[in-house]
Chain A
Amino acid sequence: MTGVPSCALRRALPVLLLVGALAACAAPPGEREWDPWEGFNRKIFWFNERVDDYVLEPTARGWVAITSQGFREGVQNFADNLRFPIQLVNNLLQWRLGDAWRCTERFVVNTTIGLLGIYDPASVWGLPPAPADFGQTLAVWGLEEGPYLVIPFLGPSDPRDATGLLADFLIESEVLPGSYFFLGTYVVATVNWRGQNLDNIREAREAAIDYYTAVRSAWLDHRRRAIGVMLPPDENKPDTPSDQPEDPYDVDSAISP
Chain B
Amino acid sequence: MSIPRSARSVRSLTLLAASGLVALSTSAPAQTTPPASAPAATPKTAREFVTTTIDTVTKVLKDHTISSHDRRMKIQEVVDRWLDAETISKLALAKNWKAFDEAQQKDFVLQFRRHLVLTYYRNVDRYSFDRIDVYDERAETKGDFTVRTKVIVPSNDDVLIDLRVRPTADGTDWRVIDIFIEGVSLVQNFRSQFQEVLSNGKPDQLLQSLREKNEATERKYVEAENQEAPVGGGDSTGGGGG
Interface residues of A (CB under 8 A from B): 32-33, 69-70, 73, 76, 79-80, 82-83, 133, 151, 153-157, 161, 165, 168-169, 172, 176, 182, 185-186, 189-190, 193, 196-197, 199-204, 206-210, 212-219, 221-226, 238-239, 241-242, 247-251, 254-257
Which residues on B sit within 8 Å (CB–CB) of A250? 141-142
Q: 1/0 contact trace for B1-19 toward A, CB 8 Å? A: 1111111111111111110
Assess whether B189 is interfacial by the CB under 8 Å rule.
yes
Confirm or deny: B164 has a beta carbon within 8 angstroms of a beta carbon on chain A. Answer: yes
Residue contacts A-B, CB under 8 angstroms, 25 given = A32-B192, A73-B155, A76-B3, A83-B1, A176-B1, A185-B2, A189-B1, A190-B7, A193-B3, A196-B156, A200-B18, A213-B192, A214-B13, A214-B16, A215-B13, A216-B192, A219-B12, A221-B12, A241-B140, A241-B141, A242-B141, A248-B91, A249-B140, A249-B142, A250-B141
Additional 20 contacts, C-beta under 8 A, given A214-B13, A248-B188: A33-B192, A73-B155, A189-B7, A200-B14, A201-B14, A201-B17, A206-B217, A209-B209, A209-B210, A210-B197, A214-B16, A214-B189, A214-B192, A217-B188, A217-B189, A217-B193, A222-B9, A222-B12, A247-B142, A257-B98
Instruction: Specify which chain A residues have a CB less than 8 angstroms from the CB of B9 in the assembled complex.
Output: 155-157, 215, 219, 222-223
Given contacts A214-B13, A219-B12, A249-B141, contact A168 B91 (CB under 8 A): no
Min CB distance B216 to A, Å, is 8
Contact indicator B178/A249 (Cβ below 8 Å): yes
List residues of chain A with CB within 8 A of the CB of B137: none
A218 to B98, CA, bound (A): 25
Chain A minimum-CB-distance residue to B16: A218
CB-defined contacts of B29 to chain A, threshold 8 Å: none
Chain A residues within an 8 Å CB radius of B93:
255
Contact residues on B (Cβ < 8 Å of other chain), bracket: 35 or more
Q: Is the interface of A mostly helix, strand, loop or mixed?
A: helix
Q: A201-B17, A221-B189 known; A185 and B1 CB under 8 Å?
A: yes
Minimum CB distance partner of B162 in chain A: A239
Q: Which residues of A contact B217 (CB under 8 A)?
A: 206
Question: Which residues in B have their C-beta under 8 angstroms from that of A215?
Answer: 9, 13
Contacts of A247 in B (CB 8 A): 141-142
Instruction: Tell me if A222 and B2 are in contact (CB < 8 A).
Output: no
Expressed in whole angstroms, the Cα–Cα distance for A186 and B2 within the complex equals: 5
Among the listed A153, A216, A238, which residue makes an inter-chain contact with B185, where contact means beta carbons less than 8 Å apart? A238
Is B123 positioned at the interface, with any CB of A under 8 Å from its CB? Answer: yes
Contact across chains for A204 and B95 when beta carbons are under 8 A apart:
no
- B102 at interface by CB-CB < 8 Å: no
Contacts of B122 in A (CB 8 A): 203
B90 within 8 A of A: yes
Tell me whether A255 and B1 are in contact in the complex, defined as CB-CB below 8 angstroms, given that A200-B14, A209-B213, A214-B189 are known contacts. Answer: no
Collect the chain B residues with CB atoms within 8 Å of residue A223's CB.
9, 12
Tell me if B16 and A204 are in contact (CB < 8 A).
yes
What are the 3 A-B residue pairs with the smallest beta carbon separation, nearest first?
A225-B183, A222-B12, A204-B17
Beta-carbon contact of A155 and B94 below 8 Å: no
- Chain A residues whose C-beta falls within 8 Å of the C-beta of B17 in the assembled complex: 199-204, 207
What's the Cα separation between A80 and B1 when bound, in Å? 8
1/0 per residue, CB under 8 A from A, across B199-242: the answer is 00000001001100100010000000000000000000000000
A238 CB contacts on chain B under 8 angstroms: 183, 185, 188
Contact A222:B7 (CB < 8 A) given known A79-B1, A201-B14, A249-B91: no
- Within the complex, which residue of A200, A201, A210, A221 is in contact with B193, where a contact is CB–CB below 8 Å? A210
Nearest chain-B residue to A219 (Cβ)?
Answer: B9
A249 touches B185 (CB 8 A): no
B144 and A79 within 8 A (CB)? no
Chain A residues near B189 (CB, 8 Å)? 214, 217-218, 221
Closest to B126 in A: A199
B177 contacts chain A at the CB level, 8 A cutoff: yes
